[in-house]
């Protein structure tokens, strides 16, 4: 688990590590946040009271810095679009000593070897509990 990058903490590093594993060869090695374009948009298809539908890179970075739950992540599957400008990642995230288990599907658009757009799908009910 890598925690020596800005924005990485003991709680979220495993999450970022699996994302970077899925992005390997598409973005430069290193920090997830370095792989995200400054003008990137993150959209979240979750329905959780108080959680925004859309965030900028800076907003998502700030939100993740204070993430309170230690996460584990596994079962990564990556599907690459034929045009090499997008990929789909499926993965599972676990926390709260096994009380939180969720599956995610992230659709990632790439431009110039950086993430320009990210759309996330997950189980809103799991997140709200």
Instruction: Report d(CA 5, CA 79) in Å as an integer.
Output: 27
- Please report the pLDDT score of residue 1 as a whole number: 52
Instruction: Report d(CA 47, CA 32) in Å as an integer.
Output: 25
- 73 - beta bridge partners? 93
> Does residue 2 fall inside a structural domain?
no
pLDDT in tens, the chain (129 residues): 566 778 888 888 899 999 999 999 999 999 999 999 999 999 999 888 888 899 999 999 998 888 888 889 999 999 999 887 999 999 999 987 778 899 999 999 999 999 999 999 998 877 777
Q: Measured on CA atoms in the order 40, 94, 90, 2, is the torsion positive or negative? A: positive
In degrees rounded to 5, what are phi and psi of residue 111?
-145, 125
In the chain, the number of structural domains is 1
- Please report the pLDDT score of residue 94 as a whole number: 92
Q: Which residues contact 65 (CB under 8 A, 6 or more apart)?
A: 7, 9
Give the CATH number of the domain where residue 77 resides. 3.10.450.50
What domain range includes position 35? 13-128
């Amino acid at each position: 688990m890598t925690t020596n990058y800005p924005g990485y903490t003991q709680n979220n590093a495993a999450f970022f590590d699996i994302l970077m594993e899925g992005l390997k060869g598409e973005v430069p090695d290193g920090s997830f946040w370095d792989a995200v374009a400054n003008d990137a948009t993150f959209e979240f298809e979750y329905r959780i009271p108080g959680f925004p539908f859309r965030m900028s890179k800076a907003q998502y970075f700030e939100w993740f810095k204070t993430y309170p739950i230690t996460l584990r992540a596994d079962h990564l599957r990556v599907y690459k679009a034929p045009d090499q400008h997008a990929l789909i990642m499926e993965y599972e995230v676990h926390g709260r000593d096994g009380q939180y288990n969720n599956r995610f599907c992230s659709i990632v658009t790439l431009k110039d070897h950086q993430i320009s757009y990210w759309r996330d799908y997950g189980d809103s009910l799991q997140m709200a509990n």
